[in-house]
Amino acid sequence: LRLIHSGNYHCRGWVDFKMLRGWEQSVPVTVTVHEIPVSGVSLSAQPPGAQVALGDRLVLSCVVAAGTGPLSFSWHRGGSATPLGTGPRLELSHTGDNDSGHYQCRASNGDSVAESPTLNVTVL
């Protein structure tokens, strides 16, 4: 649902029962759609602890506790505005020395944005 779906709704149906025949309409109902801002953004890492051996695979996952969608995601390292990727997961298939650092996920529903706490990734 989107905010634009708020309004009054009813249904109509054809009735053919005994002496009653014709189109009938239900009593209207009011539907109000409320927006829930994005909040509770958190990160998890595989392997746990975000410590990975040089050349191994690292997967970071971004989870949103609350917020109406659709949601979009962006990944950032070291406070950079340029995203490393989009989507709820960031996969580094072969980690290198330059992959160590502080990672953060940003989630947005188009009206609100929330950021995860930073996660320190260490490539050993």
**pLDDT by residue (tens digit) across 10-40?**
999 999 888 888 999 999 999 998 888 999 9
In this structure, what CATH number is given to the domain that contains residue 92? 2.60.40.10
CA distances, 25 to each of 17, 43, 77, 100 (Å) = 15, 50, 57, 64
Domain that holds residue 58: 39-123
Judge if 25 and 80 occupy the same domain. no
Judge if 96 and 56 occupy the same domain. yes
Judge if 49 and 106 occupy the same domain. yes
122 CB-near residues (< 8 Å, 6+ apart): 50, 51, 52, 100
pLDDT confidence tier of residue 41, bands split at 50, 70 and 90? very high
Number of domains in the chain: 2
Judge if 115 and 77 occupy the same domain. yes
Residue 69 is predicted with a pLDDT of 76
Cβ neighbourhood burial of 46 (10 Å; 0-12, 13-18, 19+):
middle
Judge if 99 and 86 occupy the same domain. yes
pLDDT confidence tier of residue 75, bands split at 50, 70 and 90? very high
Judge if 30 and 86 occupy the same domain. no
Judge if 59 and 15 occupy the same domain. no
